[in-house]
Amino acid sequence: MSDEQLRGAENPPIRRLAEWDVERLRELAGEQGTPLYVTDTDRVAENCARLRAAFPDADVKYAAKAHTGRAVLETVREAGLDAECASAGEVRRALDAGFPGARVDYTAVNPPARDLDSVVEWWDDHPDITVTVGARDTLDRLAERGYDGRVCVRVNPGVGAGHHEKVRTGAAPKFGVPYDRAAEVVADARDRFEVVGVHAHAGSGIHGEEDLAAHRDLVARMGELAREIGDDELEFVDVGGGFGVPYHEDDPALDLDSVADATREALGDLDATLAVEPGRYVVADAGVLLTRVNTVKPTAETTVAGVDAGMTDLLRPAMYDAYHAIRNLDAGDAGDARETGPVTVAGPICETGDTFCDGRELPLPDRGDLLAVGNAGAYGYEMASTYNSRPRLAEVSLAGDVLRERETLAGVTRLERGGADE
């Protein structure tokens, strides 16, 4: 086997749930309790390496909103990716994780005043930060704060794609200046700021021919716009990210090399550098959620497996009807082959939508079984909440290091104050 083939075997394009070390996951659940996120930072580094290999001449920026944990951000930085941040908080976390300002982009979407205030304050110490704006109004607000630094103009190309209508941004009026006004806005910005790029993003979870065709259309339109406004005066043309991963067990992995080739071809010849912003692709298959069965309830249609994780820990199934592979780590071993049947895995939240699957063919559960939920590294902990006054769960590395401590009820209520009479 050649070195290239060996590297490919060691760094496959997707890690399926079945490929995680069952005994190691059991050990971590025993040590830390459940629910629990397990994050493999080595896999994060591997995914970054694959992206850099597919886009060797591009600026690859990690969309930090997928997972902002310090260990993940540090791994991404060490792997050579920049940081694309959707809020001032994410900018702060990127800087704290060691990203220099030149490797941080702040994509301001209807930014609150306090976000702009903070980023402009940090700009004093990090003058190479880039602010991406999607409205002329945001340019005015930056100028009012004395900002005259690096700006990228976000464009709405009228082309959206993604796994769910709620994450298809490319045609939503919330995002970017209208395509037919983009040249005018760029000209205005050049009078007041250092315009370094233009930006667009089709959506999240792009996977499949229809989504990829929309992505290529977006890229082609951005190439045309860059040439119209003078690509020789731009540092980069950012065509977003959203590269998807296969959530179903039998879905094929994204052919990243083909996507990269098609992206370059659609963009066309430019003096500016291509930039991409993957998030989900970097971290999704680097994380699993572990949860334990506490209640087994047979019904006529399904067996309900009540577990200690819920939509407060992994929101995607409730919010997007998202599919996540589920594996019973205590079923299927030698001497414990289970009968299978329709199983509904349901959490403890007082909502009908608080389920991870409904009537899925799985080994029939026993109380105490440990379940693993796959591809939970992206938008898992990031979207966790304290709804129903449930403290947020812990996160550990595959090596066993505590990356985030389990929250306590005292932590949930620490900001509350009593009434005036108390």
Q: What is the pLDDT along the chain (422 residues), one digit of tens a residue?
A: 233 433 444 789 999 999 999 999 999 999 999 999 999 999 999 999 999 999 999 999 999 999 999 999 999 999 999 999 999 999 999 999 999 999 999 998 899 999 999 999 999 999 999 999 999 999 999 999 999 999 999 998 876 443 434 334 445 567 789 989 999 999 999 999 999 999 998 755 455 566 677 778 888 989 999 999 999 999 999 999 888 899 999 999 988 998 899 899 999 999 999 999 999 999 999 999 999 999 999 999 999 999 999 999 999 999 999 999 999 999 965 456 789 999 999 999 999 999 999 999 999 999 999 999 999 999 999 999 999 999 999 999 999 999 999 999 999 999 999 875 55
Residues 365 and 407 in one domain: yes
Domain count, the chain: 2
Q: Is residue 13 part of a domain?
A: no
Please spell the DSSP secondary structure of 17-45, one letter per residue.
GGGS-HHHHHHHHHHH-SSEEEE-HHHHH
Residues 277 and 328 in one domain: no
Q: Is 350 a catalytic residue?
A: yes
Residues 6+ apart with CB under 8 A from 165: none
Marked catalytic residue, from 48, 85, 152, 350: 350
Q: Is residue 24 part of a domain?
A: no
Residues 60 and 199 in one domain: yes
Q: Is residue 106 part of a domain?
A: yes
Residues 250 and 399 in one domain: no
Residues 292 and 314 in one domain: yes
Residues 255 and 381 in one domain: no
CA distance 419 to 416: 10
CA distance 262 to 399: 38
Q: Is residue 7 part of a domain?
A: no
Q: Is residue 31 part of a domain?
A: no
Q: Is residue 383 part of a domain?
A: yes
Residues 302 and 240 in one domain: no
SS3 151: strand
Residues in the annotated binding site for pyridoxal 5'-phosphate: 242, 277-280, 379
Residues 302 and 194 in one domain: no
Q: Is residue 2 part of a domain?
A: no
Residues 6+ apart with CB under 8 A from 21: none
Using the 3D structure, point to which of 255, 282, 309 is the last residue of a domain: 282
Residues 344 and 249 in one domain: no
What CATH number is associated with residue 389? 2.40.37.10
Residues 294 and 272 in one domain: no
Residues 263 and 291 in one domain: no
Residues 231 and 341 in one domain: no
Q: Is residue 20 part of a domain?
A: no
- Structural domain range at position 349: 285-412
SS3 96: helix
